[in-house]
Amino acid sequence: MSLRLTTYLVMNGNAKEAIDFYEKALDAKLLFCQTFGEMPENPEFRLPEGTEGRISHAMIRIGESDLMLSDTFPGQPHQSGNQVTICITTADAAQSRQIYDALSQNGQVQMPLQDTFFSPSYGIVTDKFGITFHIYTEGKQ
């Protein structure tokens, strides 16, 4: 089974600016970028007017490494210090579940592990040490 760690930056409305900056400063290549306005509509989480252009998910490649970025969902708090998280990528939903469950022990679930429009098994958990992990299963992009 394949397992990969990816740094994930959570920005406060300036993810597009950061992508542009890293493209120039680090010769990064944009692999994927989607705004909140391009996501499927969710009646439980309506986007405030004027926030459609915020980045919901992006990936850039710097050399041989990938960096994921997003803006906070409009209205969510952003605090300096919590904008860097780690994304664990697997190709197997069962392995994702095992990792998610292990990291959840004495930790805090931020988003339950679930099928999403971009991953068959995705969730967010902060472990008992305060480190936030995105568990991402490949298969829908």
Residue 100 confidence (pLDDT) above 90 = yes
Cα separations (Å) of 71 from 35, 102, 103, 132? Answer: 9, 27, 24, 16
Does domain 86-137 sit in CATH 3.40.50.620? no
The whole-number average pLDDT for the span 110-136 is 92
Contact of 118 with 141, CB cutoff 8 Å: yes
pLDDT higher at 141 or 57:
57
pLDDT in tens, 6-55: 999 888 899 999 999 899 988 899 999 999 999 888 888 788 888 899 99
- Looking at 1.20.1260.10, 3.40.630.30, 3.30.720.100, 1.20.1600.10, the CATH number of the domain 7-71 comes to 3.30.720.100
Measure the CA–CA gap between 129 and 36, rounded to whole angstroms: 30
**Residue 75, pLDDT score:** 77
Confidence tier at 141 by pLDDT (50, 70, 90): low
Predicted local confidence at residue 25, as pLDDT:
84
pLDDT of residue 50: 82
Q: How far apart are CA 112 and CA 31, in angstroms?
A: 26
Percent of the chain with pLDDT over 90: 55
Whether 1 has a pLDDT exceeding 70, the answer reads no
* Torsional class of 106: left (φ above 0), alpha (ψ -120 to 50), beta (otherwise): left
Domain ranges of the chain: 7-71, 86-137
